[in-house]
Structure 1
Amino acid sequence: MSLVLPRAAWPVADRNMWDALHKKAAPFDDPGALAHLRQTSSKTLEARYARWMKWLETTDPNALLSPPAQRATLARLQRWLDALAHTAPMTRLMFVDGVLRTLRAADPDQDWTMPQRLLAGLKRAAGRGDPARKQGQILSSEVLLKAGLTHATANADAAPSQLKRMICQRDGVMIALLALLPIRRRSFCELELGQSIHVTDGEILISLSEDMTKTSVSWEAAVPPQIATLVRFYIAEVRPTLLARGRKAHNILWVGKRGEIMTQDYIGLRIGNVTLKLTGKRIPPHFSAMPPRQHWHGCRQKVRD
């Protein structure tokens, strides 16, 4: 049974509320209170609200007859938390925060004092999340850099076929690049030649626009010299060969064995599997440690207003 209620199945009041919150600015109208959210953020918020809606439909269907904001009573929110007791504190915080963020935006004049106090208590309980989840999984950037370089060179040279050699080179470059320039997974997967990655004779520049960063501030950095040669080789030799195998033509940087665009989930799985093999620990892309200061020698980082 699904844990979320699809938006198409929400009551009309909720669907209208959601559409109004996300309405883009028109020439003579103001935008909705949540219209500024990127699509990924909006989808995440929708999933959390849909979880709330499913719980209401299952356990308290009469509540759906009330206006959306009026349903979020302290007693009802506490019962929902009881139903979520099997989840981690951070998960419960994210669910309640998503619902309250949506409803506060829809009805800012309602008294949200008690739900906000509940949310504050959830934040204290969640703290910094579950440290056990990451304990033992965070490696220094030196270890990840060495593993990536080794995989892209020695391991690639020992590969039994040209395809396996190119896959080693690609995966090693990805790991080494993330070790020195930790980039959120979505942005890393969407790197595009000529758009967010620029290759010149003097440098390789990664330039992320506002919609590619979590803070909505553009970001720019040169690929560090430790890995610049390998990145150039991947772009000039490995990537075109993989594209040719599948007769593909696109500018996304990371490609599969037949030139297909690699999805976020696949890249995360691939990096996790390779780091497990190389280091004994599965390191997803977002667990990459921040690089030591010396790794930034020769690397320009620029934030534009």
Structure 2
Amino acid sequence: MSLVLPRAAWPVADRMMWDALHKKAGPFDDPGALAHLRQTSSKTLEACYARWMKWLETTDPDALFTPPAERATLARLQRWLDALAHTAPMSRLLFVDGVLRVLRATDPDQDWTMPQRLLAGLKRAAGRGDPARKQGRILSSEVLLKAGLTQATANADAAPSPLKRMICQRDGIMIALLALLPIRRRSFCELTLGQSLHVSESEILLSLSEDMTKTGVPWEAAVPHQVEPILRRYIEETRPALLSRGDQNHDILWVGKKGEIIGQDYIGSRIGGLTLKLTGKRVPPHFFRDAAATTLARMSPESARLIRPVLAHSGFRTAERHYIHAQTIDAGRDYQMLIKRLKEGRS
């Protein structure tokens, strides 16, 4: 059974509310309260709201006959949280925050004090998510770069067929490029020749427009020299060969066996599986960002300041967190070496 109620099945009041919130500005009227959201952010809110609607339809269908904002009573939200008890604290926070964001936008004059207190409690419970999820899986960017280059060169050369060689090259280049330019998965998958990736004789420039970044700030960087030659070869030779296998004609950078556009889920799974094979640790695309931040933070305080522009963050909180984490790692290793020397001195 589906956990969400598709928007087409929502009550008329909810569909009208959603359309009004996302209405673009016209010559004589203002935009909706959520019209500024990027498509991905809007889809996330829709998924949260659709889950809320499905729960209401299943457990409290009479509530669907009341105005959308009036349904979010404290008692009803707490019952929904009980039903979500099997999910992670961060997931519960995401669901409730998404629903309240939609409802506050549609009726900002309603008293949201108690739901906001509930949300604050969820934020405290969620913290920064489950830290164990990343333990032991944040490798250095150097290790990831080496793994990617090995896959794109030596492993590709040893592939048993031309097709497998091309796929090895593509996969290795993806890993190596992410190791040095750890952009977000959506932006990485949407890279397009001539739009967000510009190839000239002297360089390959990666250029993300404001709608491709989480902060809404354009971001630009030249592809580093360690990856530029193999990426150029993929663009000029490997990618066209794959396109010809399926008679495809488009400008998306990353393509499948027959030149088809490959999606975020495929790329995420592919990179995770390959990093596990190559390094012994499954490293999904988003962890490349943690790898870059920790690698920079461990180099020096000056290098730590690069975390913000490299990751296209709007603030310094992430850089500070990774710097503290790196200092903790180094302190632990220094302590272990000291204990080892003391033990050796006693023997």
Provide TM-score, normalisation by structure 1: 0.94
Distance 1:123 1:115 in 2: 12
Map of 1:266-277 to 2, 5 A cutoff? 266-277=266-277
CA distance in 1 between counterparts of 2:161 and 2:178 reads: 26
In the alignment, the residues of structure 1 paired with residue 54 and residue 164 of structure 2 have an alpha-carbon distance, to the nearest angstrom, of: 46
Share of identical aligned residues, percent? 81
The letter for the 2-side match of 1:27 is P
Match of 2:333 in 1: none
Matched to 1:187, the amino acid is S
Q: Tell me whether 1:76 sits opposite 2:38 in the alignment.
A: no
Higher relative contact order by CA 8 Å / sep ≥ 6: 1 or 2? Answer: 1
Measure the CA separation in 2 of the matches of 1:185 and 1:301: 15
Say whether residues 1:28 and 2:28 are aligned partners. yes
In structure 2, the residue matched to 1:173 is: 173
Alignment partner, residue 61 of structure 1: 61
User: Do the aligned residues in 2 keep the contact of 1:219 with 1:302 (CA within 8 Å)?
Assistant: no
Contact 1:220 1:302 in 2 (8 A): no
Aligned residue for 1:241? Answer: 241
Contact 1:221/1:302 (8 A) holds in 2: no
Worse overlay, 92-101 or 56-65: 56-65
Please state whether the residue corresponding to 2:136 is helix, strand or coil: coil
Deviations 1:209-251 (A, max 9, x none): 0111111111000111111111111111111111122222211
SS of 1:8's equivalent in the other structure is: helix
SS, match of residue 183 in structure 2: coil
2:217 alignment partner, SS class: coil
Residue 153 of structure 2 aligns to a residue whose secondary structure is: helix
Structure 2 unaligned residues grouped into runs of 5+: 313-347
Superposition deviation, residue 83 in structure 1:
1.0
Which residue does 2:319 correspond to in 1? none
- 1:61, 1:88 → 2: CA distance? 26
Which letter does structure 2 place at the counterpart of 1:278? L
1:192 aligns with 2:192: yes
Match of 2:146 in 1: 146
> CA–CA distance in 2 between the matches of 1:180 and 1:151?
16
- Which residue number in structure 1 is paired with residue 336 of structure 2? none
Asked if the contact 2:206–2:222 (Cα under 8 Å) also holds between the matched residues in 1, the reply is yes
Does the Cα contact within 8 Å between 1:222 and 1:301 map onto a contact in 2? Answer: no
2:219 paired with 1:212: no
Mapped to 2, the partners of 1:151 and 1:101 lie a distance apart of: 44
Report the CA distance shift for 1:18/1:252 in structure 2 as closer, same or farther (over 3 A). same
Task: Letter of the 2:292 partner, please give it.
Answer: M
Contact 2:173/2:231 (<8 A) preserved = yes
What are the residue-to-residue correspondences of 1:3-152 with 2, within 5 Å? 3-152=3-152
Aligned residues: 301
SS in 1 for 2:226: helix
Rounded Cα–Cα distance in structure 1 between residues aligned with 2:247 and 2:18: 42
Give the partner amino acid of 2:244.
A
In 2, are the aligned partners of 1:192 and 1:251 still within 8 Å (CA)? yes
3-state SS, counterpart of residue 100 of structure 2:
helix
> How many angstroms apart in 1 are the aligned matches of 2:247 and 2:6?
38
Moved more, 16-25 or 56-65: 56-65
RMSD: 1.9
Deviation at 1:137, TM superposition (A): 2.2
Whether the 8 Å CA contact 2:170–2:234 is kept in 1: the answer is yes
C-alpha distance in structure 1 between counterparts of 2:311 and 2:135, whole Å? 32
Pick the aligned partner of 1:290 from 282, 292, 297. Answer: 292
Which aligned segments of 4 or more residues in structure 1 are displaced greater than 4 angstroms? Answer: 293-297, 300-303
Amino acid corresponding to residue 228 of structure 1 in structure 2: E
Q: Tell me the CA shift for residue 168 of structure 1.
A: 0.9
| CA distance in 2: counterparts of 1:63 and 1:261, whole angstroms | 42
Conservation of the 8 A alpha-carbon contact between 1:147 and 1:172: yes
Aligned residue for 2:95, secondary structure, equals: helix
Letter paired with 1:97: D
In structure 1, how many angstroms separate the alpha carbons of the residues matched to 2:40 and 2:66?
29
CA distance in 2, matches of 1:87, 1:301: 32
Deviation at 1:140, TM superposition (A): 1.3
- CA shift, 1:302, in A, is 11
Query: For structure 1, which segment, 276-285 or 131-140, has the greater mean C-alpha deviation from structure 2 after superposition?
Result: 131-140
Contact kept? 1:193, 1:252, Cα under 8 Å: yes
Match of 1:183 in 2: 183
